Structure 1
Amino acid sequence: MQSGLFDGWVSSLVTLAGGLAALAAIFAISRWAIFDAVWPFSPVPGNGTVPAACLQRAGACWPVVASHGRFILFGSYPAGGAWRPLVATILLLGLYLYSFTTRLRGRHLPLLWLGVFACVLLLLDGRYIGLSRVPTDDWGGLVLTLVLATGIILGALPLGIALALARLPSSPRPIRFLATLYVQLLRGIPLISVLLVAAFVLPLLVPAVLVPDRLDRALVALILYNAAYFAEVVRSGLQAQPTGQWEAATALGLSWWQTVSRVIMPQALRMMVAPLVITFITAFKDTSLVLVIGLYDLLTSARTAIADPVWQDYFIEVYVATAGLYFLFCFGMSRLAVHLQASVARAR
């Protein structure tokens, strides 16, 4: 600390000035967000107007978040069935927590992901399990963001692994060329253009009866786009393996597929934990772009909530709460990835 922060009088002055500025900012933010704030449990008038306490204080008005909390979390999902997106959110969060805190040795984990994701879709839709049907256009908020993020993992990661294997030098040249073309093309265009193609161009190319709904089109676009990034991460892990691993497997008489699945890929995946999680965090935040095709994810639901003329002056509180949710999920995934990487290192 002495060499980095107080190495000479200039460094000391800069450190002190930066420290005082940081303390002043923390004090001002804390005063606005905590000490002078009106908290969500403050009573909201029956006519939906702003509480008088918010009009009389200079701090944050957190009742705006409580007033529109259900819409921010679940979108336009019918109020009578709000328990369904709540249970779906709990299932998906429990799936993430279990996956990151257990050692990835068993083959049950992919089946668990598929099973939980299918249960969530059936629960939210409702028509196949005896509940009232809720169209996907009414899905929104946090639960929609989690559904899209889970679909990305289930679809983009296997496709990315297949693309990475197709780009290996040992793959046939035509397959390697097509895989390289796909990866470079998808990585060279913005995600919003892929979503627009899925939303407006695809319905013009296929018969109307075969056009999936907007959620399915958005999910396919996100999977195809993020698979290119997962492919590069997996390819870097595969190429980082020593050539002696390939030669030893060949000397033992293993086929190409046996070498990849039993020798190379298990070692490569251990090296790719952190890059894969970083790529997934980026994809998680990019789900907010589904706004362009009319889906109300977490961020879009928050923006729609503050369109209420009564609460328009308190948009900062809604954005701060939404940013807090994004930070909570992204920071939590990064910390769980560190834990998973440490457990994998101990298992070597």
Structure 2
Amino acid sequence: MQETPFCLSVGHILPFTMSESNSTDFTNPSTFILLGIPGLEAAHVWISIPFCAIYAIAILGNFTILFIVKTEPSLHGPMYYFLCMLAVTDLVLSTSILPKMLSIFWFYSREINFNACLTQMYFILSFSVIESGILVAMAFDRYVAICDPLRHSITLKNPVVAKIGLAMVLRGIMLILPHPFLARRWPYCRTNIIPHTYCEHIAVVKLACADISLSSYYSLSVAFFVIGLDVFFIAVSYTQILRAIFSLPTKDARLKTFGTCGSHLCVILASYIPHLFSALMQRFGHNVALHFHVLMANMNLLVPPMLNPIIYGVKTQQIRNRLLQLFTHKGT
């Protein structure tokens, strides 16, 4: 859910934008033009290869997780239900970005309808918030399982898991809903060129010829309170988890217990560390080239959906065993 400063670099490509767009005023543009990765247009086809591979791995990995959990009754529990929610969120998030990006890289299809642009923006932001909420729910599940194991099956019954998942979805839907409505109300009279591969929120609203402080402050508030509180709750959960683990009598017991939440901890790090790096780059990387900002923004959104199923497939024994059974059965 990062807010990147790509719009601040629009001036770097102004000669290009003036040659490709009308300089006349327009209040509601029918379309925006996505440049892709400014400065690296000649390498778009080559850049598309790793992005396409990332997308293919994300699709295959997350669908595999969903299939394994659905077909294995022993995995019908809170941890794996939350994992399925995470997989669906990752599928939607990556699919919101990659198809349009590849159409830009392969077919020079840079135009995107104004409403489609706002819809893409909404899906990216809302599902980023939903994913963060699911990670909090998974941290709570691990906290109950390790710190109060006798009450785990009572506390996290299926209806409770469903309500938590629904609450995370509604939170993402409602908190992000003002973004496209605010973006729609601004008059656009400068240019319809977006120096990006997708409709990044700030890059879009910065094109408006109006005071967009309301959009900026609301976006900052959501980022601070949602992501900030989510990270805080996760940190509190794992502080209690680590205290419970280190209080165990033997090293083997500590390692075994820590292994039950190791995959989730890796997913948390894979999700939040890129966003932290992006935030630091925004704060201190004003002289960084625009194309590097764009590449990092795409990697921040696309790499976690690829890594999450891999991490759970490698570090979760039940999923790994079921996956090996599938391949063994096919090989016999």
The TM-score, its normalising length taken from structure 1, stands at 0.29
Higher relative contact order (CA 8 A, sep 6+): 2
Q: TM-score, normalised on structure 2?
A: 0.30
